[in-house]
Amino acid sequence: MYLYSLTLQRATGAVCAVIGSFSGRDSKKSSSSGSSSSSTQEIAVARGTTLELLRPDPETGRLRTLLSVDVFGAIRSLAQFRLTGATKDYLVVGSDSGRLVILEYSPDRNRLDKVHQETFGKSGCRRIVPGQLLAVDPKGRALCIAALEKQKLVYVLNRDAAARLTISSPLEAHKSNTLTFSLTALDCGFDNPVFAAIELEYAESDRDPTGQAAEQAQKHLTFYELDLGLNHVSRKASEPIDNGANLLVTVPGGGDGPSGLLVCCDNFVLYRNQGHPEVRAVIPRRADLPAERGVLIVAAATHRQKSLFFFLLQTEYGDIFKVDLEHSNDTVTELRIKYFDTIPVTSAICVLRSGFLFAASEFGNHALYQFRDIGRDVDVESSSATLMETEEGFQPVFFQPRALKNLYRIDEIESLMPIMDMRVANLFDEETPQVFTACGRGPRSTLRILRPGLAISEMARSMLPAEPIAVWTVKKNINDMFDAYIVVSFANVTLVLSIGETIEEVSDSQFLDTTHSLAVSLLGEDSLMQVHPNGIRHIREDGRVNEWRTPGKKTITKVGSNRLQVVIALSGGELIYFEMDMTGQLMEVEKQDMSGDVACLAIAPVPEGRQRSRFLAVGSYDNTIRILSLDPDDCLQPLSVQSVSSAPESLMFLEVQASVGGEDGADHPANLFLNAGLQNGVLFRTNVDMVTGQLSDTRSRFLGLRPPKLFPCIVSHRQAMLCLSSRPWLGYIHQGHFLLTPLSCDTLESAASFSSDQCSEGVVAVAGDALRIFTIERLGETFNETAIPLRYTPRKFVILPKKKYLAVIESDKGALSAEEREAAKKECLEAAGVTENGNANNGDQMENGDGQEDGAEDRNTLPDEQYGYPKAESERWVSCIRILDPKSRDTTCLLELQDNEAAVSICTVNFHDKEHGTLLAVGTAKGLQFWPKRNLSAGFIHIYKFVDEGRSLELLHKTQVEESFHYCKYRRDENQLYIFADDSVPRWLTAANHIDFDTMAGADKFGNIYFARLPQDLSDEIEEDPTGGKIKWEQGKLNGAPNKVEEIVQFHVGDVVTCLQKASLIPGGGECLIYGTVMGSVGALLAFTSREDVDFFSHLEMHLRQEHPPLCGRDHMAYRSAYFPVKDVIDGDLCEQFPSLPADMQRKIADELDRTPGEILKKLEDIRNKII
Amino acid sequence: MQASDRFNINSQLEHLQAKYVGTGHADLNRFEWAVNIQRDSYASYIGHYPMLAYFSIADNESIGRERYNFMQKMLLPCGLPPERDED
């Protein structure tokens, strides 16, 4: 069995993020400020194995993805730097490749280019191979890459005569038996670069059996100086530091600040510098935090302006603190920590110069915030000046989280991280199945319903007097930004709506309204054309109307037009061709009798700088499409003919770039595609040769039950195509790829692009008797989602197929139950009024003074999604069982488990006697502990019966099983309780799925997917054996089963797979194995059906491995074989990078495969279409 | 030291042991072996972010805290070393 692996939804979580001016472009708006540093900023986000570049749009406040590249390696750290005097930032990537990679973003070609790749060690995430920690000198002169233990390498960065970046060979700064917690570079202006690290030495503790050395183990803050003159790194100083230290943050220096470091420790923030006394302040704690818990900083960002700088530090509970330093020259006198706001816990926060804050959430959706203030108001504050030390230690400062005051959320990026469980099913009876995913953690848990396709957001919907048959939009002048009219045609009238502040009917448009229309468009520069069954009405800009009438009793049946050319088909099959002349008159040029009625017509758009387009496509009922010439010398003469499987219903020409273009426009020549919607529901696409008009390279795809009607529209400033079948599809270009994706909305009758003041790129469509205006969102996404909030981390769910309900079990460790939380909240509110602590009182006064009307109430309704649940003792569990109706999104039943029980497994069971019908079984564990030893005080199985139409649950039976919790499973075949075969490798399974009689698919926690199959002869033997292999089993073999299964497929996904299911995502498509991962990606493995395809794709994969090695330096084959050698899986994600290669390399690879690049693209498209 | 000594198996092993932390030797005791395995495991958990996220979901801690805990555990991953025999 050979499989094709394809990621359907790339990982949505974020590992780390940095900000920089990677494009090096000046922003249009900031030129007024005149500052040299006013270039646009982009955010580079590492999402596990993909690297993304995001740019916030300062006008709309939305984040746009510029680029997303799969690097086939684990990205562990990112850093950005700029050479002195340059305007562009480079991106440094620390990964598992054992190499340091420096990337440069090229905005013209919209790609990341590898500038340097320096090998320093073995690949893989190893203890002593650098890659985990990365620091760059603020002046861009040197960088340091470090491992968790021992190794640190320093590279000197410089530029050569041609201003290209150069990198030195590495300088070693190793220290054996030493762990590194954090690494950063000091800002020391143009003095020698200095790096600082939090280090802990363990050699003594390993040798001392009394434990004294371990107790006295002391973390040190170590400074490494790079002497640029001597080209040498020296360990300059090593000072003892608080043993809770975990993170270093650079303090601006060199004239902008005092230089030095912020050292974030458990509960404290310190200011340190060489030869400077320590300045310490305590991090304020939430009032409801248990005393034994510390407060740890997990993310930090620095904001620098000319005259001011401050730091934003986020704690593990989500609270952000603003840190200010009071300093004179290089001496820091006071460190102040002030409560700023609370947002969900992040893995990285970035402050943008344009006044935005990007929060890459560690679980759940990411967000973009706008600054409303920078925390100048009075708030709970702790300072080094007021630090109080008592016998019990430092006096804590308390605060209560409050609603957002300084930040304001303006955009959200959806993240599925982590997918805990997933099912594919068609519960809504739609055309394609839905993917149900249980995502998120704790209070931010959701059940998300994913549907393949793009989301639309409806802006307006209005009812029309009758059912319209078609809709158009027209501009009055070609140079206008926005459309002027919406024209709606009914069966025998035409309605004209004018677009302004509002959309209203007008009668002064000169359009003929007593008949239905066949086409409405802008003609020439500024005149309008309406084609109706009896003629063509040409409305000049000054109001004059020219009318061309059909001869005799003939009527116009079909029209094709572009800006300068019009072709009509009369009943009986006569074609008449018009052209616009110099004076703006529409002149009849040529006539041609076709043999029969014309089914549809289309003219290609006028090429840039030309007078006319050369191609006319005519579809006939004899299942052919003809290309006719429109050149004056061979006008309406056939150029080529294509026969199709069914009569064409609609035709459209669309230009498609075959390769990656620039960020905004492309310099690659475009390919002209003729698209045809056939009556059997197939969309037929074929390439038109720009010179000869020959058709080649055809592709077809079934879109739906109705014949697709094609309409042009605009998507991200480029021509795109709407195909309206039983559901609408959008064909558009995204990051250089042509994508054909369904839209998530009902059947539409007719559509046109729409552009107005409020909505620059929308679509107006008619469906039934409604006129709808909508925009298309989140381009490039495979799925769109609807979320239903849950209470705790979802662990598993089952679908109850009869009632189409979901049963979800949720549980959380170390949290309080709903009632306890309510009680605690009340208590807290009462306590807040009478706190003795001066600081807390201070904060309280602020809240009272700030807003009497919302003060108390606001705090009562703080959403848990934003603030998180209060922490309880770590051995406490809360859990609930929920029955959910996904259609109405209602929870019909919610049972909270009592007494420290956690639900861990769920399934439906049918008992022998069938007295109660289908029952729900929930496995629970009481007092579950993972550390120091995995144990639990009791395990139960609850059996519930469905009552009240399955909406509610009744407890039937509760049994106690004293058995240990099995975490580690062995592969076992069939449902037999004796193990007659097992795997030769023990694995920590995270998901498993039954594939066929002899085969199981499994995924382990190291990110591998494998298939294990019972050998055929063994399977037969067991079938025939009357004892079912029992005798052999009793004999045993080296403590294992007598037989071993064969692992027939091995693949490293690079992400913990949490769920596997065999399912089909498209109607009538073959089944593939769908998986979901912790990082929130969804992928599929499809079995190849022909040997030919296997050969083709394995060769393509091989060539891509050679010609286009992964961006971050990891060898592709080694990555996919990280734990077990990859076996019989072809990596579709690598193959799909083929279109992004330069055209000459595409040709080279295609030649080696004896194909054309177009054929390869078609193959890639075909196989993707088999999956989704 | 003679030139040939540099290439004999013992000095090569010593060189490996110095260069690659965790390379075993004939006299490695059970405790040292376990300590190495544990440290390698923790380093791998920290390096593979999805795995770190997986653990932090089980523990209901933030990923930052989980990483810090794992780092701290690298100090004494297997508890105190056993008493050495006198020889």
The CA-based angle A535-A539-A543, given to 5 degrees, is 140
CA distance A319 to chain B (A): 13
Which residue of B lies nearest to A13 if distances are taken between CA atoms? B50
The answer to whether the Cβ–Cβ distance between A298 and B62 falls below 8 Å is yes
Q: Say whether residue B82 is in contact with chain A using an 8 A CB cutoff.
A: yes
What share of chain B in percent tops pLDDT 90?
52
Cβ pair A316, A427 in contact under 8 A: no
The reply to whether omega before A443 is within 30° of 0 (cis) is no
Q: Say whether residue A363 is in contact with chain B using an 8 A CB cutoff.
A: yes
CB contacts, 8 Å: A209 with chain B: 80-84
Largest CA distance in chain B: 59
Q: Say whether residue B3 is in contact with chain A using an 8 A CB cutoff.
A: no
CA–CA gap between residue A257 and residue A259 (Å, rounded): 6
Query: Strand A999-1004 and strand A989-996: pairing?
Result: antiparallel
CA distance B43 to chain A (A): 5
Q: Each residue of A616-626: pLDDT tens digit?
A: 999 999 999 99
Q: Say whether residue B14 is in contact with chain A using an 8 A CB cutoff.
A: no
Window A:182-221, CB contacts with B under 8 Å:
200, 202, 205-211, 214, 217
Count of other CB atoms within 10 angstroms of residue A582: 6
Window B:61-80, CB contacts with A under 8 Å:
61-65, 68, 71, 74-76, 80
Q: Which of B58, B68, B81 sits opposite A209 (nearest CB)?
A: B81
The answer to whether the Cβ–Cβ distance between B59 and A131 falls below 8 Å is no
The answer to whether the Cβ–Cβ distance between B75 and A202 falls below 8 Å is yes
With tokens 């003679």, the residue in question is B2
SS3 A58: coil
Count of other CB atoms within 10 angstroms of residue A1137: 18
Instruction: Say whether pLDDT at A209 is over 80.
Output: yes
Q: Each residue of A226-256: pLDDT tens digit?
A: 999 999 999 999 999 999 999 999 999 988 8
Any idea how long chain A is?
Answer: 1172
* A1022's tokens: 């067991």
CA–CA gap between residue A300 and residue A349 (Å, rounded): 6
The answer to whether the Cβ–Cβ distance between B81 and A793 falls below 8 Å is no
Q: Say whether residue B15 is in contact with chain A using an 8 A CB cutoff.
A: no
Window B:26-55, CB contacts with A under 8 Å:
32, 35, 39-40, 43-44, 46-51, 53-54
- Which residue out of A16, A76, A97, A125 would a mutagenesis test of the B interface target, given it has the greatest number of B Cβ atoms within 10 Å? A125
The answer to whether the Cβ–Cβ distance between A125 and B20 falls below 8 Å is no
CB contacts, 8 Å: B15 with chain A: none
Q: Say whether residue A815 is in contact with chain B using an 8 A CB cutoff.
A: yes
CA distance B54 to chain A (A): 7
CB contacts, 8 Å: B70 with chain A: none
Q: Say whether residue A128 is in contact with chain B using an 8 A CB cutoff.
A: yes
Cβ pair A516, A533 in contact under 8 A: yes
Q: Say whether residue A131 is in contact with chain B using an 8 A CB cutoff.
A: yes
The answer to whether the Cβ–Cβ distance between B62 and A1056 falls below 8 Å is no
Query: Strand A728-734 and strand A718-724: pairing?
Result: antiparallel
CB contacts, 8 Å: A990 with chain B: 54
Q: Which of A127, A206, A1005 sits opposite B51 (nearest CB)?
A: A1005
Cβ pair A195, A218 in contact under 8 A: no
Work out the pLDDT band at A326, boundaries 50, 70, 90: very high
Q: For A185-189, A392-396, A425-429, A516-520, which range has the lowest pLDDT when averaged over its residues?
A: A392-396
Window A:84-103, CB contacts with B under 8 Å:
96
Q: Say whether residue A76 is in contact with chain B using an 8 A CB cutoff.
A: yes
CA–CA gap between residue A201 and residue A193 (Å, rounded): 24
Q: Each residue of A489-499: pLDDT tens digit?
A: 999 899 999 98
Cβ pair A173, A144 in contact under 8 A: yes
CB contacts, 8 Å: B74 with chain A: 148-149, 179, 202
Across the range A683-688, mean pLDDT stands at 90
Write down the pLDDT at residue A972: 41
* A1011's tokens: 């298939």
Cβ pair A617, A636 in contact under 8 A: no
Write down the pLDDT at residue A569: 93
CB contacts, 8 Å: B48 with chain A: 74, 125, 1006-1007
CB contacts, 8 Å: A812 with chain B: 60
With tokens 């390993």, the residue in question is A206
Across the range A966-987, mean pLDDT stands at 49
Q: Each residue of A1044-1085: pLDDT tens digit?
A: 778 899 999 999 999 999 999 988 778 999 999 999 999 999
Instruction: Say whether pLDDT at A984 is over 90.
Output: no
Write down the pLDDT at residue B6: 65
CB contacts, 8 Å: A347 with chain B: 63-64
CA distance A369 to chain B (A): 21
Q: What percent of chain A is helix, strand and coil (3-state, nearest 5)?
A: 10, 50, 40
Instruction: Say whether pLDDT at A316 is over 80.
Output: yes
CA distance B2 to chain A (A): 28
Which residue of A lies nearest to B59 if distances are taken between CA atoms? A813
Write down the pLDDT at residue A863: 77
Which residue of B lies nearest to A440 if distances are taken between CA atoms? B57
Work out the pLDDT band at A967, boundaries 50, 70, 90: very low
Across the range A1017-1028, mean pLDDT stands at 71
More confident residue, A1133 or A85: A1133
Instruction: Say whether pLDDT at A957 is over 50.
Output: no
User: What integer best gives the mean pLDDT of chain A?
Assistant: 85
The answer to whether the Cβ–Cβ distance between B74 and A202 falls below 8 Å is yes
Write down the pLDDT at residue A66: 87
Instruction: Say whether pLDDT at A1138 is over 70.
Output: yes
Domain ranges in chain B are 29-76
Across the range A536-562, mean pLDDT stands at 90
Q: For A478-487, A642-651, A928-937, A1016-1025, which range has the lowest pLDDT when averaged over its residues?
A: A928-937
Window A:903-932, CB contacts with B under 8 Å:
930-931
Write down the pLDDT at residue A532: 92
Write down the pLDDT at residue A31: 40
The CA-based angle A1096-A1097-A1101, given to 5 degrees, is 125
Sheet holding A99-106, edge to edge: A75-81, A90-95, A99-106, A111-119
Write down the pLDDT at residue A697: 83
Write down the pLDDT at residue A978: 53
Residue B5 φ/ψ region, left for φ over 0, alpha for ψ in the -120 to 50 degree band, beta for the rest: alpha
Write down the pLDDT at residue A1160: 92
Work out the pLDDT band at A1037, boundaries 50, 70, 90: low
The answer to whether the Cβ–Cβ distance between A148 and B74 falls below 8 Å is yes
Chain CA centroid to CA A100, Å: 26
More confident residue, A108 or A415: A415
Which residue of A lies nearest to B54 if distances are taken between CA atoms? A1078
Position A791, amino acid: R
Q: Which of A206, A793, A814 sits opposite B57 (nearest CB)?
A: A793
CB contacts, 8 Å: B21 with chain A: 127-128, 149-150, 176
The answer to whether the Cβ–Cβ distance between A205 and B39 falls below 8 Å is no
CB pairs under 8 A between A and B: 145
Q: For A734-743, A911-920, B52-61, which range has the lowest pLDDT when averaged over its residues?
A: A911-920
The answer to whether the Cβ–Cβ distance between A362 and B63 falls below 8 Å is yes
Instruction: Say whether pLDDT at A638 is over 70.
Output: yes
Instruction: Say whether pLDDT at A34 is over 50.
Output: no
SS3 A490: coil
Chain CA centroid to CA A726, Å: 28
Window A:1004-1063, CB contacts with B under 8 Å:
1005-1007, 1054-1056
Write down the pLDDT at residue B9: 81
A502-522 CB burial, b ≥16 within 10 A, e <16: ebeeeeebebbbebbbbbbbb
The answer to whether the Cβ–Cβ distance between A205 and B82 falls below 8 Å is no
Q: Each residue of A642-668: pLDDT tens digit?
A: 999 999 999 999 887 644 444 444 445
Q: Each residue of A291-312: pLDDT tens digit?
A: 889 999 999 999 988 888 999 9
The answer to whether the Cβ–Cβ distance between A345 and B75 falls below 8 Å is no
What is the complex's ipTM, to 2 decimals?
0.93
The answer to whether the Cβ–Cβ distance between A1056 and B50 falls below 8 Å is yes
Instruction: Say whether pLDDT at A956 is over 80.
Output: no
* A1133's tokens: 């994600």
Instruction: Say whether pLDDT at B12 is over 80.
Output: yes
